[in-house]
Every structure is written in C-alpha cells, then in structure tokens.
C-alpha cells in the first residue's frame, strides 16, 4: 500500500490545476480502497463552510455547489473534532444531514478524515459504501496516512491555483502565510532566485513561438547525447563492468521514440521547452517511484539526473543576465547573506524565504538592513511567483499575490503611517535614553553583519554592544591572519573611542558555517559551536585574541565576550588562554623594543628609553574586561561562581529562548512556538537580572527582544543596564523609553510576570502600549 500512497500523492502534486488534481485523486482512492464513493470537501473560511469539490460516487451536478457548515453534518463534525470519524450507518447518526442533491441515499458506511496543514483544517476526505459496516483499522489507517501526506501537497496546489487564476480571488484577497521575519511593508514585483539546473525550480509556462521551442530542445538533446558519449568514452578505460550501460540507457531514452518524442508532443500543445521537459521527466519519475521493486524504484534518480542534465544544456542555450526591475522583492528557497549583499543596492525592497524563522540568520540580517521579510512561506510552487505583483507584510507574515486596488490602497496608507512614525522617532535619535522620571539605560548597537556600523552614530547608538566577528571569517577561503583581523578590529574600536566596544569571539556552528571549515552534525544547535570550537582549536582562538589586543593598543575600549558558555571549566580555560595571549604579546612587544634600543649607542640613554617605553607598553596594552553570554540555561544556576571570574554578563535572548523552549529557531514547522515573550523566558530573564544586581555584575541583553517596544519596557523594569540592537531600531526604542516612567514600567512588569500564557502576555502588553499613548508602535513591535 505504501507504493499506492506514494503514487497518489505524487500524481496529485504534479497536476498544474487544482480541480484536475482533486478529481484524479478521488478516483484513485476509490479504486485503491475498493469502495463505492470517495469525495473531498475543501474549507472556505470566508463563508465558514466546506464545499464539495470532487467526488467519484456522488452526483456530478452537486460538485462545487453543495456546502456544509463548519458545525453541520458529519463532514462538519470531522472538521470540528480534527480526527477520523468511522460510522457503520451514517444516516442513523444524530449529526447526519440529508442533502438530496448529492444522491447518497444508498450509502450507509462512512469514514471521514481531516486534511490538516500547520494546525489548519484544509478539507475533509471521505469514503462511503452501501453496506452498513465499520471500515477496518487498515482502511482507516490508509485514509489517515493519505490525508496527512496530502496536506502539504494540497496547500501547494491551492497556492498554484491562486497564482494561475487571480480571478479566483472573488471574496477576498487570499494570501500565503509565513512567519514575520523583519518588520515593514514592501509592495513590488517578485524576483525569484533559483538554482541553475533543478527541474523542481522550473515554472510551467506556455508560449506562442512553438518552432523556437522545438529548436531549443533539439539542441539541448543533441548536446546531452554528446555529453554522455564523452563521459562513457572517458570512463571506458577505467571501468570495465556493466555499470557503463547506464549511458546507453540515457541515449535510448533521448531517442525520438522515447522521452524526446514526449517532450515534442508537449511543446506542440504550447508548453515552453523547459516546462515540457519538467512534465515528462516528473511523470517518468513518479512511475518508477510507484513500482514496488526496489531496483526499479532507484531508477527514478537516473531519470531525474537525465532531466537535470537536459535542463542544464537547455538553459545554456538561453543564458543571459536577468534584467531586474527598478524595485523588487527577492524570493528564494533559502535567502542567504550573499544574496542580500548582491541585491541590496539594486532596488531590493523586501525578502521572502521559504525556509527559516523569525530568528534565523537571514531574518536578523534583514532587520539590520531595514528590509521587510517573511520566512517559512509554504509555497512549493514558488517559481510561478516570479514577476508577480505582491505585498510583503513583515509585521503579520502575510504575502499577498496580485492584490486588488483596495488592498493596495490600504497598504499604501500603512506605509505612509510607517514613514511618519520613522520621522517622529528620529527627533530623539541624539537625545539621552532616559525615562520620564530620570532612569537611564544605554542603547547600543549589534554590528558585524555588514560593514556599515560607522554610520550608526547618525541613529543615536552610544557604541557597540555586540560585534559579531564571524563575518571576516566567512567571506574568504581560509582563516584570516592575525594582521588582517587586527586591522579590522582597530577600525571598529576606533569608531567609538570614548565608549566600550564589546567583541564576541568567533561564534560559528549552528546556522553559521565556514566554507573552508565544514561542520556536519545531525543537530548543530546542540553540537559543536561557539566557545566549544575555539577551545578545541586554541590556535584559532589565540590568534583572534592577539589581534583584538593589538587593535586595542592606544585605544583601551575593548571588551571581550565569550559565546555559548555552558560550564565553569570553559570560562576558566578561555580566561587562561586570554591571559596567555596577553603576556605573550606583551613580551613580544617588549622584545621588539629592546631589539630596537640595542642600536642606540648611548647606554645611559638606552636605559632611560627602555624605562619610559616599558611604562608606555603597560598603559597601551591593557588587559580587557571579559564577559560571557548567558544563552544556555545551565549558566542561570551558576551565576555566583561565574561572577567571581568575569566582569559582565550579556544575555543572548535569541538562543536562550530556543534552548528554554526546545525550539529550533530556524525550523519553520515549530516557529510559532518560538517567542521570547513566553512566561518562562520572561521569568528567567527577571531572575538573571535580579541575581546579577545582587552580585554587582553589570548585565546587558543583545537579542531581538531588546528591539521590540514592549520588550524594551520590560527589560528596563527588570534592571538591565544596556540593551543592544540593530541600528534601525535605536531611535524607536529611545522614543519608547523617553515616553514611559520607570514606575510605570515596573508596574507593567509586575503584572506581566503573573500571566500564564504567551498570548495573554502579548494582549496585556498591547493594551499597556495603547494606554501609554504608544499604540502606533504595536504593529511595529511584534
């Protein structure tokens, strides 16, 4: 039955039209389960009912017309209970509703299962029989499994239907839902960034120039056949067994009587060459995967390889630089830092990433650049979004495709409000961050994702509270030298000479990798990352610390922060290495000085120079303050011991949240569970701040929580000394702090800490922002 399941789901996902997919699927299920009727109802949340969309067994005239309310009938009951319903005699059930137009009077047995995607009921799949009986456990298990597998495919199919049929948006502007990654609104065309040769990335499009498409595919087939000849000839001298026969199979499949002819037939129907190739190859792949023989199943990958090679050669025939619109929204399966770096100066207005969550690396970078972003969008048919008009709502995570004029006007008004708010908060950018009753808190900058930190002074940040040192390690093919790092760090430290600059030591692993230092782990966020890597490789750690110390000479504002600390031993070892680097460097500089002075002929002058310059050295090569990041829950219970060893604490609320809640912050499947306003996270932060105050250790926070208006108010009340955030949020948080009293903040915190759920926390904080006259920040703060 597994092969049958796989075939039904594959066939469904490959249909270009939703209605055709539904009709084919119910017929396949009816046949596979040997029943007399199979039907599917789709949920319409606008009218709050299920619509009978396809059936093999019910009256054809009722399709698309019969509607059952969410709280009515057996279909509604399945949706309400969100579980299978197996009834021997449906007509005898108290919730049964007679619908004469469907002509089901002879059908007694009923089995219905919900189709649920991301906790939302998309539809109901049912089977029926004339014989009054309960369907068996195996039959029920089959239908439940099929419904679960269909959920993602159905969500994708609805997306395709929305894209191909914009006129289908009759009742409302339908949208794709993602995760709000970076606040803001963008309205523009979508530009899809896709791999060069991947059939799954091909969009299905038709053309009028059929002759041109025939020419393109003929050239690609001939080039691919030549490639296989050359590959086979090269390997013949090395490989003597039958494994080379695969190249003969490829060449046979390319023959006019095989795949080549089927592609030609599709082109004759008006499909573009790459679209025709995609449909034919995916059809063959589905057929092979549906075969129960494992050897033949594995041939599906051979067909896929052939298709991708054909696509590569097809695209080589048409390669040209893609013309970008003046303004656009970038969409990719996985938006990367390099993509943002490439496009940010070319009219980029927003980003859409199919993977990741609101605290993945791409989302954090988008916030730093002030770009609206949506993460984890469920759009398997994303290629069809290329050049479509869209609205990206980075506040709610909604993506509107081909919005109507009314919706466009609504969002244009919101954009104008957003601009007014930005202009308003800039009035306080260079004023002290102090509450109405005189309580001060430092607002610092998170830097290192780009090299634009030097412009942060225009937005009012005092200094850098978190400098990520990973970037110079990432944008190269080997580890940077001590001299290279020294020059970079000196430039950073010199930008804020009157204030401490906190530099975090190399923090790679998790979702941050080095191309020349690959780390392959099943669970990277719980694995080898942060301080664990650098302590295992002291040669990397010592070079970085020496570079920091050299850069700090003559400036004296360096603070070193250690990431991913989980125990006391790590702190002791790191401090030992920092001391080692300090004393070694001091000795080296002194030795160089002595070597220079040996060239001085006057011994008395030489002695006085040594004495004077030794004093200069002691002043210039200062031992920096050392702190640790509190982001692993274990350290919360070791603060007294840690306070004896370090000079300051800094909470990394992004990682602390994911570890406290056991939620991978890059996993869109569980992204809704990741929330720094969770009561457990807020109580942990309060406990940390209170104990730090008792221990007389300065405490700061450098996570995304600090950049939200409500979060900043809570952290102020908890007693945090410094908040560090991206530059775009500095003026906004200053405005919020300057329009609240410390007493009001404490009252808000006191009640917030009593609330039992995240939703109640958000609702209460929204109410309080409104009461304080800060309602305009509610949309911009979550």
Q: Catalytic residue at 193?
A: no
Cα–Cα distances (Å) from 680 to 21, 179, 533, 658, 688, in that order, read 45, 22, 29, 12, 12
Q: How far apart are CA 235 and CA 374, in angstroms?
A: 47
Q: Mutual orientation of helices 568-597 and 538-552 as an angle, nearest 10°?
A: 60
Nearest to 498 by CA among 459, 548, 544, 442: 442
Q: DSSP character for 499?
A: S
Nearest to 29 by CA among 52, 50, 57: 57
Burial call 29-51: b when 16+ CB within 10 Å, e when fewer: bbebbebbbbbbbbbeeeeebbb
Q: Is 548 exposed, middle or buried (0-12, 13-18, 19+ CB in 10 A)?
A: buried
Q: Catalytic residue at 702?
A: yes
Q: Which of 37, 38, 433, 702 is catalytic?
A: 702
Q: DSSP character for 385?
A: G
Cα–Cα distances (Å) from 590 to 68, 362, 385, 479, 536, in that order, read 86, 45, 64, 27, 30
Q: Which of 49, 117, 361, 678 is catalytic?
A: 361
Location of structure tokens 């808000």: 748
Cα–Cα distances (Å) from 135 to 112, 132, 331, in that order, read 10, 9, 45
Q: How far apart are CA 480 and CA 540, in angstroms?
A: 10
Q: DSSP character for 585?
A: H
What phi and psi values does residue 556 have, to the nearest 5 degrees?
75, 25
What are the start-end ranges of the E strands in 608-725? 625-630, 648-651, 699-701, 722-725
Contact 631, 659 (CB under 8 A): yes
Handedness of CA 519, 520, 521, 523 (dihedral sign): positive
Location of structure tokens 């839902």: 177
SS3 348: strand
Q: How far apart are CA 599 and CA 747, in angstroms?
A: 70
Q: Is 392 exposed, middle or buried (0-12, 13-18, 19+ CB in 10 A)?
A: buried
Structure tokens given for 98: 């007679």
Contact 524, 511 (CB under 8 A): yes
Q: Report H helices in 696-771.
A: 709-718, 730-738, 742-752, 758-771
Q: Which residues pair with 116 in a beta bridge?
A: 121
Residues designated as active site = 361, 702
């Amino acid at each position: 039955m597994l092969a049958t399941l796989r075939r039904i789901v594959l066939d469904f996902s490959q249909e270009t039209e939703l209605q055709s997919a539904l009709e084919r699927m119910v017929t396949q299920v009816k046949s596979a389960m040997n029943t007399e009727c199979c039907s599917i109802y789709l949920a319409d949340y606008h009218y709050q009912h299920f619509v009978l969309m396809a059936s093999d067994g019910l009256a054809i005239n009722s399709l698309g017309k019969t509607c059952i309310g969410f709280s009515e009938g057996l279909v509604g009951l399945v949706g309400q209970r969100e579980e299978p319903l197996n009834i021997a005699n449906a007509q005898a059930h108290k919730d049964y509703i007679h619908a004469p137009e469907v002509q089901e009077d002879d059908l007694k047995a009923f089995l219905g299962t919900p189709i649920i995607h991301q906790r939302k009921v998309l539809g109901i799949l049912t089977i029926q029989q004339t014989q009054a009986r309960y369907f068996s456990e195996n039959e029920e298990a089959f239908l439940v499994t099929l419904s679960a597998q269909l959920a993602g495919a159905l969500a994708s199919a609805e997306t395709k239907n929305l894209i191909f049929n914009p006129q289908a948006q009759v009742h409302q502007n339908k949208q794709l839902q993602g995760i709000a990654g970076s606040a803001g609104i963008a309205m523009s065309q979508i530009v899809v960034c896709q791999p060069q040769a991947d059939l799954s990335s091909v969009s299905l499009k038709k053309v009028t120039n059929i002759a041109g498409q025939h020419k393109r595919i003929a050239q690609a087939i001939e080039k691919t056949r030549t490639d296989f000849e050359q590959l086979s000839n090269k390997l013949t001298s090395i490989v003597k067994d039958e494994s080379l026969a695969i190249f003969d199979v490829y060449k046979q499949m390319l023959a006019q009587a095989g795949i080549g002819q089927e592609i030609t037939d599709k082109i004759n129907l008006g499909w573009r060459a790459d679209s025709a190739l995609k449909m034919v190859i995916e059809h063959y792949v589905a057929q092979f995967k549906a075969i129960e023989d494992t050897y033949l199943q594995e041939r599906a990958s051979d067909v896929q390889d052939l298709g991708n090679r054909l696509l590569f050669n097809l695209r080589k025939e048409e390669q040209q630089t893609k013309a970008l619109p003046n303004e656009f929204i970038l969409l990719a399966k996985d938006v990367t830092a390099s993509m943002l770096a490439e496009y940010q100066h070319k009219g980029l207005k927003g980003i859409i990433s199919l993977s990741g969550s609101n605290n993945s690396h791409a989302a954090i970078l988008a916030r730093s650049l002030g770009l609206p972003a949506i993460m984890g969008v469920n759009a398997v048919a994303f290629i069809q979004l290329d050049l479509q008009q869209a609205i990206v709502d980075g506040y709610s995570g909604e993506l509107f495709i081909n919005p109507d004029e009314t919706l466009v006007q609504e969002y244009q008004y919101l954009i104008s409000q957003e601009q007014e708010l930005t202009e308003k908060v800039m009035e306080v950018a260079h004023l002290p961050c102090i509450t109405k009753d005189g309580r001060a808190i430092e607002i610092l900058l998170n830097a290192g994702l780009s090299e634009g930190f030097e412009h942060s002074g225009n937005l009012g940040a005092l200094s850098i509270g978190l400098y990520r040192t990973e970037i110079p390690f990432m944008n190269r093919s080997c580890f940077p030298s001590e001299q290279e790092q020294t020059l970079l760090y000196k430039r950073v430290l010199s930008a804020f000479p009157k204030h401490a600059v906190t530099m975090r030591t190399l923090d790679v692993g998790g979702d941050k990798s080095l191309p020349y230092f690959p780390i392959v782990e099943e669970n990277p966020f719980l694995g080898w990352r942060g301080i664990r890597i650098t302590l295992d490789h002291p040669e990397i750690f010592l070079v970085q610390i020496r570079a920091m110390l050299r850069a700090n000479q003559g400036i004296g504002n360096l603070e070193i922060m250690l990431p991913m600390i989980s125990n006391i031993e790590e702190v002791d070892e790191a401090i030992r290495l920092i001391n080692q680097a300090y004393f070694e460097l001091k000795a080296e500089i002194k030795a160089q000085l002595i070597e220079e002075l040996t060239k001085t002929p006057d011994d008395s002058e030489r002695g006085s120079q040594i004495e004077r310059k030794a004093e200069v050295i002691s002043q210039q090569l200062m031992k920096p303050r050392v702190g640790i990041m509190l982001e692993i829950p274990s350290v919360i219970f070791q603060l007294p011991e840690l306070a004896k060893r370090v000079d300051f604490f800094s909470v990394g609320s992004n990682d602390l949240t994911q570890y406290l809640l056991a939620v991978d912050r890059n996993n869109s499947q569980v992204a809704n569970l990741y929330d720094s306003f969770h009561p457990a996270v807020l109580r942990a932060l309060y406990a940390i701040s209170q104990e730090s105050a008792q221990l007389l250790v300065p405490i700061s926070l450098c996570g995304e929580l600090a950049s939200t208006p409500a979060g900043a108010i809570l952290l102020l009340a908890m007693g945090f000394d410094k908040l560090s955030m991206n530059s775009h949020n500095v003026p906004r948080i200053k405005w919020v702090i300057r329009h609240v009293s410390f007493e009001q903040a404490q009252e808000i915190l006191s009640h917030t800490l009593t609330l039992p759920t995240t939703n109640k926390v958000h609702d209460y904080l929204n109410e309080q922002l409104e009461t304080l006259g800060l309602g305009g920040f509610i949309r911009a703060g979550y």
